[in-house]
Amino acid sequence: MNSTKVKERIFLSSPHMSDEGYEMQYVKEAFDTNWIAPLGENVNGFERELAEKVGSKAAAALSSGTAAIHLALKAAGVGEGDIVFCPTLTFSATANPIIYQNAIPIFIDSDYETWNMSPKALEKAFEKYPEVKAVLVVHLYGLSADMDKIMEICKKHNVAVIEDAAESLGTYYKGKHTGTFGDYGIFSFNGNKIITTSGGGMLVSNNEERIAKARFWATQSRDQARHYQHSELGFNYRMSNVVAGIGRGQLKVLDQRVAQKNYIYEFYKRELGELEGVEFMPSNKWDEPNYWLSSMVLTGKVRPIDVMEALEKENIESRPVWKPMHLQPFFEKYDFVGTDVAEILFENGVCLPSDTKMTDEDLERVVETIKGLF
Ligand SMILES: Cc1ncc(COP(=O)(O)O)c(C=O)c1O
C-alpha cells in the first residue's frame, strides 16, 4: 500500500476572503433586506468605493472584466471595421471584445523594460495604421505599462485609450492608479484576481455621462418608457447586489493583499534571484506594482517546463507567461507590429504561486523545489 501523503496544494492565486468577515456582513445585509437583486445598495456602494479608491469620477459594476472591455470599446465608438491596437502579450479576454464589436485587432509587441506595450512598436503601428480608432493598453501581472510615453503618443494622434487593468488593481504608476490614465479603465474580480467577487468586473471613467450610457447598455438598453422599448442593442452585463457585497468587503483588504503579494515577490527574489539564468519581472522606479503574479524568465539550462513539472510533482500550481495573441490560431490572421520580445517572454517565462494565503513554510516549499533543479 502506498503510504505517501499528498502534500496540501499550493495555488497560483486563489480567493482569499477577509479574516474579519467583511464580505459576509454586506452579503447578509442584502439577504436580511431581501434585496439580492436587482442592483441595490451594494452595487451603488461598490461603484462609489472603487471609484474613490482608484481616483476616478465614475464606475459601473458589471458581470465580468470582459464585459467591461466590451462596453469600453463601445463607449469609445469602436464599431464594425475599426482598427484597435492591442498588446500581443495578454490573456485572450483583452482581445475577444474587439471581435465582439466586429472590429480589427492589430497586435503590438512588448518591451523588456515593462513586459507591456512597447511605445516604439506603438509608434510604428500608428505609422502603418493612422486610421486606428482606439488603443487598448494592458498592465500585465500588476506591472504598469509606461503610461507617460503611451499617453503622449496617443494624444498626438488624438485616439481613445482604454486600460485593461484587470490584473493591476492596487498598482500605481508615478503615484496615480493604473486604469485612470486613459478614457476608460477596467478591472476584473474573477476568482484568481487580487480581490475577487467570485466573478465580476468594473468599468471606470471620468466621463460620468459615458458611464451612465454603459449602465444603460448593460441593462438591456431599456428606454425610459412604461412599456418595454429599445432603441439600441442591449446586454445583460450588470453585477448582482450579492456579488457586489463581496466586492465591498474585499475592497477593505486590498491594501493588505498588495502588501502580502509584495512580500511573496521579495521572498522569491531574495531566494531565487541569484540563481544562474534567473531574471525576475522588471522593476521600474516609477512603478508601484500590486505583484499580482510573481513571474520570472529563465535564460539558462533550466527551462520553464522543468520548473512547472517539478512544482506540479509537489502539488504546487504554476503557469507559463501568456502565449502572445499573434501566435494564437484564432488571432494569427491579424497583423502584428514588433519583433520577438513577447515571444521570448512567453518561451522563457513562468508565473510562480502568488497566493496570499501561503505561509512562509509554503514559500520555502516552492523555493526548495526550484533550487533543487539548479
Ligand atoms: C489581462 C486580462 N484582461 C481581461 C480579463 C478578463 O476578466 P474577467 O475574467 O473578469 O472577464 C482578465 C482575467 O480574466 C485578464 O487577466
pLDDT for residue 2? 52
Q: Cell digits for 184? A: 476608460
pLDDT for residue 4? 63
User: Residue 221 pLDDT > 80, yes or no?
Assistant: yes
pTM reported for the whole predicted model: 0.97
Are the CB atoms for 290 and 356 separated by under 8 Å? no
How much is the average pLDDT of 242-265?
98
CA 127 to ligand 1 center in whole angstroms: 29
The CATH 3.40.640.10 domain(s) of the chain lie at 22-251
Q: What is the CATH number of domain 254-371?
A: 3.90.1150.10
Q: First-to-last CA distance in the chain?
A: 33
Whose alpha carbon is nearest atom 10 of ligand 1? 65
Order of strands, edge to edge, in the sheet holding 134-138? 58-62, 201-205, 184-188, 160-164, 134-138, 83-87, 104-108, 336-337
User: Residue 1 pLDDT > 70, yes or no?
Assistant: no
254 in the Ramachandran plot: left (φ > 0), alpha (ψ -120 to 50) or beta?
alpha
The CATH 3.90.1150.10 domain(s) of the chain lie at 254-371
Known catalytic residue at 213: no
Class of domain 22-251: alpha beta
Give the contacts of 341 (CB within 8 A, at least 6 positions apart).
109, 110, 111, 112, 118
Q: Which residues line ligand 1 (CB under 6 A)?
A: 64-66, 90-91, 93-94, 138, 164, 166-167, 188, 190, 201
Provide the pLDDT confidence category of residue 39 given band limits of 50, 70 and 90. confident
Whose alpha carbon is nearest atom 7 of ligand 1? 65
Q: Phi/psi of residue 315, each to 5°?
A: 60, 40
Q: Cell digits for 357? A: 494565503
Q: What is the pLDDT of residues 169-219, one digit of tens each?
A: 999 999 999 999 999 999 999 999 999 999 999 999 999 999 999 999 999
What Rg, from alpha-carbon coordinates, does the chain have? 21
User: Residue 370 pLDDT > 90, yes or no?
Assistant: yes
Instruction: Quote the mean pLDDT of the chain.
Output: 97
